[in-house]
Structure 1
């Protein structure tokens, strides 16, 4: 038998657990590991904004969703990280941005249109 402390919704409970596969009163066959010493949590650096995949000047949809807005037009010059369009997927708005300064060759979608993962959204030159 082993005594354990379990916390449920902030309230601590002390419980006794008996292993059914061991004869009563016999010691465990393997020593129990001691808990690892506490370490300070290292913050994980996350990207400031999602980056769409780019292939030969083409911006494709990173996931299936609905285009909420198109913020550029054919022939427009865009700067790096300029908003191209907003895509809603799983009730979240995802900003699709320009990976580098470029000229918009063609916008292939319009607001309200459903898109699939990998579908061509914007061509840059």
Structure 2
């Protein structure tokens, strides 16, 4: 199943014990802010933060870095960004809308009969 990134205002429902924002429903942005606050707090305990903005950037626009993929190809430069991803249990069905003239209605016969009786 393919996942997708959530937008900042998408709402996520989780058990409050599993949600970093400690609520049952939170926006993507609220969850990411709670994660960022937790990471920042832990890092402050571990060492003095010289650039606290760098931790904010990794959750928003990302920071420049490199990745070495396990399947080969060498180092690749780019942006590293932390995101919350949602993977649906089942793919969403695509709805195809037909123009009104193409949709059959159980009332079509009644309409035709009424038009003929006028």
TM-score interval for Structure 1 and Structure 2 normalised by the shorter chain: under 0.3
TM-score, with length taken from structure 1: 0.17
**Quick check: which has more Rg, 1 or 2?**
1
More helix by share: 2
TM-score, with length taken from structure 2: 0.17
